[in-house]
């Protein structure tokens, strides 16, 4: 019986192919698949007389074959009816599927998060409305410290704290919009203990007028490593490795002294200017404007964690040391795409969002 079916299949397929008009195809259809006397129908009728086992095996296969042959007929039919009549203009513009995009900063942040998680870092987070303790005092910036002037701060209050401020005057503990992601250093030490490797991406705020180069709200990504005998050499190696991953081997980095109250020693990393190729001058001999002729662009601050900061995070500075670094990912995005206005990042303008993919 199986042989019989196989034979019908071969014959039918050939006949369908050979049909040269719709009417001829119709005859083929009746001859093989017709409900009353079609060749395949006749064979299937005989199914009742074979053993149950054989029926279970052949039944579904024959049914599938019938559907397949019907479909072949349909396809051939549409070919015969339309052959030569369908014209395709293959120069029409492609239709793209409708998709959205991540914010360009999310894109870069994820790239960096992935890079650091691959190196075994935890991703830590903390509040944006922060206490003065975490934002300043714990980071070795007591209220008299001139470094507090380096960061113009937004102070915030709630209705409750407002009453308190009125009552206690300047002495009342205040809340701030965090000026950097560094308060999460302390929170991370408290939460995870040591040894610790984490990065801290987050939005920070500074009270300054907004223009193309300055924003009062911005992203920062901070890294923190604490273990026994962490040194400047470890910091240098880690930073160089990550800059290489980020920019490729052609970008050079240099390190120079800096000042941050929460690190000692403090350093800053520069990357070579991509506009003038570190030469400080552009083709016509003029001073490069992007790097102001220095050949280098400031990229991030870093240093060994100040012993007071470790202590405030509950870590014994006699046993442990650490390094920390921080930078603004917006800078990376701006360099990558040649964006010249900070404000676009917060605009929600589709004409901007659709470009940074």
Q: Is residue 319 part of the contact set for another protein (CB under 8 A)?
A: no
Q: Which element (helix H / strand E) includes 329? A: helix 329-337
Residue 20, phi then psi, degrees to nearest 5:
-110, -5
What is the dihedral angle through the alpha carbons of 311, 315, 317, 323, rounded to the nearest 10 degrees? -100
Number of chain residues interacting with another protein (CB under 8 A): 98
Based on the number of CB atoms within 10 Å of its own CB, is 92 exposed (0-12), middle (13-18) or buried (19 or more)? Answer: exposed
For another protein, the binding residues in 34-53 under the rule CB under 8 A are none
Are 196 and 189 in contact by the 8 Å Cβ rule? The answer is yes
What's the N-to-C CA distance of the chain in angstroms? 61
Which x/- pattern over 100-139 shows residues binding another protein (rule: CB under 8 A)? Answer: xxxx-xx---x--x---x--xxxx-xxxxxxx-xx-----
Phi, psi of 302 (to 5 degrees): -160, 180
What token pair was written down for 200?
A: 């801290």
Choosing from 21, 166, 210, 355, the residue that interacts with another protein (CB under 8 A) is 210
For another protein, the closer of residues 20 and 160 by Cβ is 160
Our CB check for another protein shows the closer of 38 and 126 to be: 126
Cα–Cα distance between 45 and 351 in angstroms, integer?
67
Output the smallest distance, CB 290 to another protein, in A: 12
Nearer to another protein, 92 or 350 (CB): 350
CB of 91 to another protein, least distance (A): 25
Q: Does 237 bind another protein (CB under 8 A)?
A: yes
CB 15 within 8 A of CB 31: yes
In the complex, least distance from residue 253 CB atom to another protein, rounded to whole angstroms: 9
Site string for another protein, 51-90 (x = CB under 8 A): ----------------------------------------
| Cβ closest to another protein, residue 182 vs residue 321 | 321
Taking the least distance from each CB to another protein, the nearer of 28 and 226 is 226
CB 297 within 8 A of CB 271: yes
Residue from 155, 213, 319, 337 that binds another protein (CB under 8 A)? 155
Whole-angstrom CA distances from 267 to 201, 239, 271, 309 are 20, 12, 13, 17
Compute the least distance from the CB of residue 89 to another protein, in Å: 25
Query: Is 234 among the residues that bind another protein (CB under 8 A)?
Result: yes
Choosing from 85, 91, 99, 250, the residue that interacts with another protein (CB under 8 A) is 99
Q: Which of 53, 86, 89, 229 binds another protein (CB under 8 A)?
A: 229
- Residue 245 found at the interface with another protein (CB under 8 A): no
Q: How far is the CB of 144 from another protein (least distance, A)?
A: 4
268 binds another protein (CB under 8 A): yes
Q: Least distance (Å) from another protein to the CB of residue 251? A: 15
**53 — phi, psi (to 5°)?**
-60, -45
Among 31, 42, 49, 48, smallest CA distance to 5 is for 42
Q: How far is the CB of 245 from another protein (least distance, A)?
A: 13
Q: Which lies closer to another protein via its Cβ, residue 50 or residue 102?
A: 102
**CB 195, CB 227: distance < 8 Å:** yes
Residues, the chain:
357
Residues 186-205 within binding reach of another protein (CB under 8 A): 187, 190, 195, 197-198, 203
Q: Which residue has the tokens 């003065």?
A: 132
Q: How many CA atoms lie within 13 A of 130 on its CB side?
A: 29
Enter the DSSP assignment of 170. G
d(CA 130, CA 275): 39
Selected binder of another protein within 11, 80, 307, 335 (CB under 8 A): 307
Q: How far is the CB of 275 from another protein (least distance, A)?
A: 15
Pairing of strands 196-205, 122-123: parallel
């Amino acid at each position: 019986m199986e042989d019989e079916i196989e034979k019908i299949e071969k014959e039918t397929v050939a006949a369908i192919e050979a049909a040269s008009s719709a009417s001829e195809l119709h005859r083929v259809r009746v001859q093989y698949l017709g409900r009353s006397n079609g060749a395949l129908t006749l064979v299937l009728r005989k199914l009742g007389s074979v053993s149950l086992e054989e029926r279970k095996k052949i039944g579904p296969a024959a049914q599938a074959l019938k559907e397949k042959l019907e479909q072949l007929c349909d396809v051939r039919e549409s070919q015969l009816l339309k052959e030569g009549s369908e014209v395709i203009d293959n120069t029409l513009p492609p239709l793209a599927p409708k998709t959205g995009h991540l914010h360009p900063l999310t894109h870069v942040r994820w790239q960096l998060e992935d890079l650091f998680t691959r190196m075994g870092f935890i991703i830590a987070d903390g509040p944006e409305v922060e206490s003065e303790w975490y934002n300043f005092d714990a980071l070795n910036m007591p209220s008299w410290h001139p470094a507090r002037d380096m960061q113009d701060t937004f102070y915030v209050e709630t209705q409750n704290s407002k009453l308190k401020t009125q009552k206690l005057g300047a002495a009342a503990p205040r809340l701030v919009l965090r000026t950097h992601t560094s308060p999460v250093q302390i929170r991370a030490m408290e939460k995870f203990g040591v040894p610790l490797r984490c990065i801290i991406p987050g939005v920070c705020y500074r009270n300054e007028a907004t223009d193309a180069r300055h924003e009062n709200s911005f992203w920062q990504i901070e890294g923190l490593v604490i273990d026994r005998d962490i040194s400047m050499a470890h910091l240098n190696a880690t930073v160089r490795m990550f800059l290489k991953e980020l920019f490729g081997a052609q970008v050079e980095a240099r390190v120079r002294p800096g000042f941050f109250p929460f690190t000692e020693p403090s350093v800053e990393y520069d990357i070579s200017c991509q506009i003038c190729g570190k030469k400080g001058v552009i083709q016509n001999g003029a001073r490069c404007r992007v790097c102001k002729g220095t050949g280098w662009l400031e990229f991030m601050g870093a240093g060994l964690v100040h012993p007071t900061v470790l202590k405030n995070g509950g870590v014994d500075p006699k046993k442990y040391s650490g390094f920390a670094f921080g930078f603004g990912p917006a800078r990376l995005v701006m360099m990558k795409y040649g964006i010249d206005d900070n404000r676009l990042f917060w605009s929600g303008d589709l004409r901007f969002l659709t470009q940074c993919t």
